Structure 1
Amino acid sequence: MCGILFSLTTAQQQVDPELWQTLTEINTKRGPDSQQTRTISVGDHFLQFYSTVLHLRGRDNVPQPVCENGNILCWNGEIFDGLSIALGENDTAALMQHLTRVDTKNSTAFLKVISRIEGPFAFVFWQEESKRLWFGRDCLGRRSLLWSRNENSLVISSAAQPNDKVEWQEVPANGIYSVQLGKEDEPETPVLLYPWLQQEENPRLALPFPRLNRGIPALGTETIDSNNELPPPDETMQTAVRDFTNVLDDAVKRRVADIPFIDSVHSRPRVAVLFSGGLDCICLAALAHRHLPVSEPIDLLNVAFENPRSQNAKQQKKASGDGGTTNTATATVYNTPDRVTGRASVEELRKIAPERTWHFVEINVPYSEAMTYREHIINLMHPLDTVMDLSIAMALWFASRGKGTIDIDGAYEPYESHARVLISGLGADEQLGGYSRHREAFRHGGWERLISEVCVVTVVSS
Structure 2
Amino acid sequence: MCGICCVVSLSLQTPDGWLLKEGILDSLRRRGPNCSHQLVKSGLHPPYQCLFSGHVLHLRGRMTLQPLEDPASGNVFLWNGEIFGGIHVEAEENDAQVLFRHLCSCSSESDILSVLSSVQGPWSFVFYQASRHCLWFGRDYFGRRSLLWQFNKDRDKILALSSVSAGSENDSPWQEVPASGIFKLDLQICATFKGVFLTLHPWKCPSGENITEEAMIGDRNPALKDLPSHVSLTVNESHLLVVPVVPLNTKQPEESRFSDFTGNVADVGILRRFLAEDRKKKLVHQFIDVLSRAVKKRVICPARDTDQFEGEMLKAAPRRPQIAVLFSGGVDSILLARLADRHVPLDEPIDLLNVAFANPNQAGRNDSTQKCSKKKRQLPSLECLNNANTAKLDPLSSFNVPDRITGRAGLGELKATNPSRSWNFVEINVTLEELKAMRRQQISQLVYPLDTVLDDSIGCAVWFAAKGEGLVTNQGDTGPYKSPAKVVLTGIGADEQLAGYSRHRVCFQKYGFEGLNKELRMELGRISSRNLGRDDRVIGDHGKEARFPFLDEEVVSFLNSLPVSEKADLTLPRGIGEKLLLRLAAAELGLTASSVLPKRAMQFGSRIAKLESSHEKASDKCMRLRSVSVEELPLMDPKLL
Q: CA deviation at 1:400?
A: 1.3
Aligned pair in 2 of structure 1 residues 66, 266: CA closer, same or farther (>3 Å)? Answer: farther
CA contact (8 A) 2:354 2:427 kept: yes
CA distance in 2, matches of 1:235, 1:16: 69
Aligned pair in 2 of structure 1 residues 411, 322: CA closer, same or farther (>3 Å)? Answer: farther
Report the AA paired with residue 6 of structure 1.
C
Aligned pair in 2 of structure 1 residues 223, 309: CA closer, same or farther (>3 Å)? Answer: farther
Report the counterpart of residue 539 of structure 2 in structure 1. Answer: none
Report the counterpart of residue 119 of structure 1 in structure 2. Answer: 121
Alignment of 1:302-451 (within 5 A): 302-311=354-363, 324-327=384-387, 332-375=397-440, 376-436=442-502, 438=504, 450-451=516-517
Alignment of 1:190-269 (within 5 A): 190-199=197-206, 200=208, 201=210, 203-216=239-252, 221-225=256-260, 227-228=262-263, 232=274, 235-261=278-304, 267-269=319-321
CA distance in 2, matches of 1:444, 1:387: 27
Aligned pair in 2 of structure 1 residues 431, 302: CA closer, same or farther (>3 Å)? Answer: same
Higher strand share: 1
Report the AA paired with residue 367 of structure 1.
L
Aligned pair in 2 of structure 1 residues 12, 40: CA closer, same or farther (>3 Å)? Answer: closer
CA contact (8 A) 2:204 2:240 kept: no
CA contact (8 A) 1:304 1:335 kept: yes
Q: CA deviation at 1:223?
A: 1.4
Report the counterpart of residue 2 of structure 2 in structure 1. Answer: 2
Superposed CA offset, 1:204-228 (max 9, x none): 011111112222368x532133614
Q: CA deviation at 1:439?
A: 5.3
Report the counterpart of residue 556 of structure 2 in structure 1. Answer: none
> What is the identity percentage for the equivalent residue pairs of Structure 1 and Structure 2?
40
Report the counterpart of residue 35 of structure 2 in structure 1. Answer: 34
Q: CA deviation at 1:116?
A: 1.4
Report the counterpart of residue 77 of structure 1 in structure 2. Answer: 81
SS at match of 1:325: helix
Q: CA deviation at 1:25?
A: 2.3
CA contact (8 A) 1:180 1:186 kept: no
Q: CA deviation at 1:130?
A: 1.5
Superposed CA offset, 1:8-39 (max 9, x none): 11337755528414222221111011111111
CA contact (8 A) 2:296 2:340 kept: yes
Report the AA paired with residue 165 of structure 1.
N
Report the counterpart of residue 177 of structure 1 in structure 2. Answer: 183
CA contact (8 A) 1:441 1:449 kept: yes
Q: CA deviation at 1:190?
A: 4.3
Alignment of 1:5-84 (within 5 A): 5-11=5-11, 15=15, 17=17, 19-22=19-22, 23-43=24-44, 44-58=47-61, 60-68=62-70, 69=72, 70-84=74-88
Report the counterpart of residue 97 of structure 2 in structure 1. Answer: 93
CA distance in 2, matches of 1:224, 1:308: 45
Higher helix share: 2
Q: CA deviation at 1:459?
A: 3.4
Q: CA deviation at 1:352?
A: 0.6
Aligned Cα root-mean-square deviation (Å)? 2.9
CA contact (8 A) 2:12 2:42 kept: no
CA distance in 1, matches of 2:436, 2:282: 49
Superposed CA offset, 1:309-357 (max 9, x none): 4449889986999764133555610110100000000011011111110
Superposed CA offset, 1:28-68 (max 9, x none): 1110111111111111211110001111223x111111111
Aligned pair in 2 of structure 1 residues 165, 190: CA closer, same or farther (>3 Å)? Answer: farther
Q: How many residues align?
A: 458
CA contact (8 A) 2:186 2:198 kept: no
Q: Which is worse superposed, 220-229 or 253-262? A: 220-229
Q: CA deviation at 1:78?
A: 1.0
Report the AA paired with residue 494 of structure 2.
A
The TM-score with structure 1 as length reference comes to 0.90
Q: CA deviation at 1:164?
A: 2.9
CA distance in 2, matches of 1:195, 1:209: 15
SS at match of 1:196: strand
Identify unmatched segments of 5+ residues in structure 1.
none
CA contact (8 A) 1:223 1:445 kept: no
CA distance in 1, matches of 2:12, 2:128: 22
Q: Which is worse superposed, 76-85 or 357-366? A: 76-85
SS at match of 1:216: coil
Tell me: higher relative CO, structure 1 or 2? Use CA pairs within 8 A at least 6 residues apart.
Answer: 2
CA distance in 2, matches of 1:322, 1:18: 69
1:298 pairs with 2:367? no
Q: Which is worse superposed, 416-425 or 371-380? A: 371-380
Aligned pair in 2 of structure 1 residues 405, 172: CA closer, same or farther (>3 Å)? Answer: same
Report the AA paired with residue 183 of structure 2.
Y
Identify unmatched segments of 5+ residues in structure 2.
211-237, 264-269, 310-316, 529-641
Aligned pair in 2 of structure 1 residues 455, 181: CA closer, same or farther (>3 Å)? Answer: closer
